[in-house]
Chain A
Amino acid sequence: MTLPTLDLVVLLPQLIVLTAALLVLVVDGLSGARSWLLAGISLVALLAAGAAAIWLSLQPGEPRRLQAMAVADGFALLFDVVIVVAAVLGVLLAYQSIPRISQQVGSYYALLLLAVVGMMTMGAALDLIVVFLALEILSLALYILAGFNRSEPRSAEASLKYFLLGAFASAFFLYGAALVYGATASLNLEAIAAALAGGSRSPAMLYLGIALLIVGFGFKVALVPFHMWTPDVYPGAPTPVTAFMSAATKAAAFAAFLRLFLTALPTAQPTWSWALAVLAAVTMTLGNVAALRQRELKRMLAYSSIAHAGYAAVGLVAGTAQGAGAVLFYLLAYAFMNVGAFGVVAALERAGEYDVARGRLAGLSERQPALAAAMAIFMFSLTGIPPFAGFFGKLYVFGAAVAAGWGWLVVIGVINSVISAYYYLQVTVEMYFAAPAAEAPAAAAAGKKGRAVAKAAAPSPAPEEGKAAPAPLSRATAAAVLAAALGTVLIGVLPALLTGWIAQAVQGIF
């Protein structure tokens, strides 16, 4: 019996991050909670993994493969970069706030890094078994991270809700995978495509399987009607976790979604693209309309992230190389702007608080002008206003959809962008033009928690808002917000730096 030769370089980014996760656990055990060391190891490893991914993607020749299980093509590697961006920002945001809510800082970074391993593997997977295991690795790690604030019952409840719906979604995904296996007799994505090329033997089973796969992925990226966990989990989870998972999970799930549907199931595209188009339209509309009514920042961003999953899905509906590249670009832009926005929320947050009322933004431009400017950039970018990354993300996604003949979907998308402008710009208006609330002494408000604030904030900023400054902006949080703002602006000013690279990278999945 001969043992297989393994080209482990394919998994170089994953192996770097995995090693760092183990190192973090060991260091945590040895030296106690040296928070800066643990964060440092995580950051260095993530940056090294990103560099490795870029290095691998610059290698000439055919993409390298690990047996028939994983591939290091440009598509997978660029998604690695997106995930690294979100994870680096996530680690920076965690540096200040996680030690405040938990003593298990080492476990936090280890779980975050292991989630990154799962996410990176999702984009590289060529086999349904690998997709499934990677999905479970990232999901299990995120369930625990979402409940990391053990002194806040709502964090634990968010975690349980996320877990139960996530386990449910995984079960759907599996049933779908089993039916596709039954219809094609294969688990390998390319072999599935080959089996379907000559027409399916059992179309009913195949389509049922595809439908269940869409449900499974729909839960993970939060497409309506599979989004119901998002508005509870995003505010309930600690803000650094929300920031990380909102961008990175979407990237990983869309990476596998794109590869699975475009590599393995292109023959069924007329069917699934219609189903996805309807889901995308409903998702964009419901997400934005619901976000309009939110008075609290994390909840608003939760609904906004649902809407953004809808925009990204438009690129998948297009089903072309242009569409896949647009989704990749969109998610990279989203990683910068959305993690940045959550970073600002984290900076405004007070200890022991569930969510940040929007009233607290009033007058932020005077108190913390840099923070307000960064938030304005993120809001403009999320709306899709020109010189920022989000604009080009939307432009490419919608352009790909128009080119593929999905004009009506793009019309819905544009209308939705206009709706979303209302609440994103309102945030900016509040920061710059709303009068700061009366500077009442903070002591009176100290004991009160989010619930009272939420009610009071509805008509006008409550008196207890405004002052009561959160913990001073830590350097790590500031660095994260700054990096995110720089990324948002840079991608927006020079999108051409990426588009050529991305266009070339996505060829591999067809």
Chain B
Amino acid sequence: MQLVLFFVLALLAVAGAVGVVLSKNAVYSALALLLNFAVLAVFYIMLNAQFLGVVQVIVYAGAIVVLFLFVIMLIGGQLAPDALTAGSRRPARVVALIAGLVALAGLAYGLVSGALAPQTGQVQGSGSVQAIGRVLFTDYLLPFELASVLLLVAMIGAVVLARKPTKS
């Protein structure tokens, strides 16, 4: 049962990713991204990471995709500025293909060679909000505080960028 579920969901996730990459219109890309994110949330719950699954929906699907859509609507999907204006795209595509294939081959080798012998262990609600909260505010307190510094940087940055350029 779980296997069937995995296949269906994996297919959906990959379809979403393909949609993100291939659709010409940025709005469709964003919607495909939403599909991908939502499916991943289900995977997290299957993997006993319930809290992460919920956060995935709230932050990724709820905030990030909406932000993307908002910006796309604001400036028009076709009008978005070119990322890397210089140079032909063909070398980049070749590099992309090679890199993707190498990544796949590397993992496939790792799997075939039996290097990744999966172990299963007993789970006692390790994905619960309680467990995460306890570890987050004890062992991982420094990263938590660093994340707040990071958000401060992002906030200042957004304010700086949002102001209209004025020449003094």
Contact = CB atoms under 8 A, between A and B. Distances in A.
Q: When A and B assemble into the complex, do they touch directly, with CB atoms less than 8 Å apart?
A: yes
Contacts, number: 107
Contacts of B103: 208
A239 to B, nearest CB: 18
A1 B134 contact: yes
Interface stretch (B39-47, B62-70, B79-87): B79-87
A261 to B, nearest CB: 19
B107 A208 contact: yes
Interface in A138-193: 140-141, 143-144, 147-148, 150-151, 157, 160-161, 164, 182
B141 A6 contact: yes
A118 B149 contact: yes
A204 B85 contact: no
B76 interface: no
B153 interface: yes
A144 B140 contact: no
B110 interface: yes
B160 A148 contact: yes
Nearest to A121: B146
Secondary structure class of chain A's binding surface, majority of residues? helix
Given A130-B146, A205-B107, A205-B110, A150 B165 contact: yes
A164 B157 contact: no
B150 A103 contact: no
Nearest to B161: A144
A114 B149 contact: yes
Interface in A200-257: 201-205, 208, 232
Nearest to A175: B103
A130 B47 CA distance: 24
A186 B28 CA distance: 38
B159 interface: yes
A99 B139 CA distance: 43
Secondary structure class of chain B's binding surface, majority of residues? helix
A246 to B, nearest CB: 20
Contact of B84 (A11, A121, A164): A164
Nearest to A211: B106
A282 to B, nearest CB: 16
B167 interface: yes
A80 interface: no
B83 A111 contact: no
Given A6-B141, A140-B153, A161-B84, 8 more contacts: A103-B166, A107-B159, A118-B153, A127-B143, A130-B143, A133-B147, A160-B81, A204-B109
For the complex of A and B, 9 pairs with smallest distance between CB atoms: A150-B165, A202-B115, A204-B110, A144-B157, A133-B146, A69-B142, A208-B106, A205-B110, A129-B143
10 contacts: A130-B146, A133-B143, A134-B146, A140-B153, A151-B167, A157-B85, A160-B83, A204-B107, A204-B110, A208-B107
